[in-house]
Amino acid sequence: MDSPLNSEIESFFDSAPPLNDRAAISQKLKEFIALNSSESGTRRVACVTSGGTTVPLEQRCVRYIDNFSSGHRGAASTEHLIKMGYAVIFLYRRGTCEPYCSSLPDDAFLECFEVTEESAVQGSSRRPSVEASLYNYIRMLQMIAVSSRSLGPCSMFYLAAAVSDFYVPWKSMAEHKIQSGSGPLDMQLLQVPKMLSVLRKEWAPMAFCISFKLETDAEILLEKADMARKKYGMHAVVANELLSRKEQVVVVTNNGKIPVYRDKTSSDSDVEKPLTKLLVDRHSVYIKDSNT
Ligand code: PAZ
């Protein structure tokens, strides 16, 4: 845990509060990975990240920096990956879209129930609850990556969440609510260390990793996506532009840029269906190559 990459991450976490429910989450992860690994063959497991992270401005947080992500991409992709046989760990921000819920009302009513072994429905008390802050997101991603190492190339990371690029270090963050009335707020935000490198190189070096690149300026999108692919060693980077993201994306790989479109002849189609199909095919090739 003392490589330069990891020490950058450790200093990011410096004195930040620990993850709530860490033990319960770790236990669930262990059980999930064990369930999907067997002597007769390991099932493919995807970790899909979804929704945006928040950055607190005060330790006793009243205000935070947010971002726009609705979580639609992650939720829809999860449904398609499950249909294609994947077991999915869905790391999402509560309040953003969840798989199989697009036609349900926007409330968490159904989260209050669970199905028992006898197929009866009862109130749930076991769901670990975690805030969507950047700190928690990165801690959870690290836990998932390290726990799924044993799956080798069968594990996929599909990083659709919009993760904050800048943050206020916990140590220099105001403890109490920032007071107004003394003029403009002067605050320095630091750049979040690049988790993609450490994920690829240290946390889960055998996993198939796909990151997403969003831009509002179409002119720079593909170049930035390709730069990210090379810099962080991603197997593919999905480039998307804010306004057209639900209609088309471009998958940037080491052997080309592949545009993917929503099927406009069908009103209930989404771009995530052909996108996940393409990426699953690439993952199959990756697994085959890794085993030879
Ligand atoms: O969550 P959503 O469906 O509204 O949008 C998806 C998205 C644009 C957040 C995702 O496709 C993406 O590009 N995520 C990475 C964003 C980035 O950090 O560049």
- The domain limits of the chain are 4-211
pLDDT category, 75, cuts 50, 70, 90?
very high
Whether 70 lines ligand 1, by a CB cut-off of 6 Å, is: yes
Whether 274 lines ligand 1, by a CB cut-off of 6 Å, is: no
Least confident of 13-27, 165-179, 237-251: 13-27
Task: Write the DSSP symbol of residue 133.
Answer: B
To test the ligand 1 pocket, which listed residue (50, 73, 262) has its Cβ within 8 A of the most ligand atoms?
73
Reported as type and span, the H/E element at residue 215 is strand 208-215
Ligand 1 centroid–CA 215 distance in Å is 9
**Which residue type is seen at 285?**
V
pTM for the full predicted model: 0.91
Please return the burial class of 34, using the count of CB atoms within 10 Å of its CB with bins 0-12, 13-18 and 19+: exposed
CA–CA dist 148, 150 (Å, integer): 5
CATH for 4-211 (3.20.20.140, 3.40.50.300, 1.10.357.10, 3.40.50.10300):
3.40.50.10300
* In contact, 252 and 222? CB cutoff 8 Å: yes
Whether 246 lines ligand 1, by a CB cut-off of 6 Å, is: no
Whether 72 lines ligand 1, by a CB cut-off of 6 Å, is: yes
Closest by Cα among 123, 96, 95, 285 to 208: 285
ipTM surpasses 0.90 = yes
Ligand 1 atom with least separation from CA of 213? 19
Ligand 1 centroid–CA 40 distance in Å is 36
C-alpha 167, offset from chain centre: 18
What is the sign, positive or negative, of the torsion defined by CA atoms of 25, 43, 149, 275? Answer: negative
* In contact, 271 and 261? CB cutoff 8 Å: yes
125 pLDDT more than 70 = no
Whether 271 lines ligand 1, by a CB cut-off of 6 Å, is: no
pLDDT at 12: 85
Least confident of 24-28, 100-104, 113-117: 113-117
Least confident of 125-129, 161-165, 236-240: 125-129
Ligand 1 centroid–CA 175 distance in Å is 31
CA–CA dist 172, 73 (Å, integer): 34
Please return the burial class of 92, using the count of CB atoms within 10 Å of its CB with bins 0-12, 13-18 and 19+: buried
Ligand 1 atom with least separation from CA of 249? 11
CA–CA dist 244, 167 (Å, integer): 28
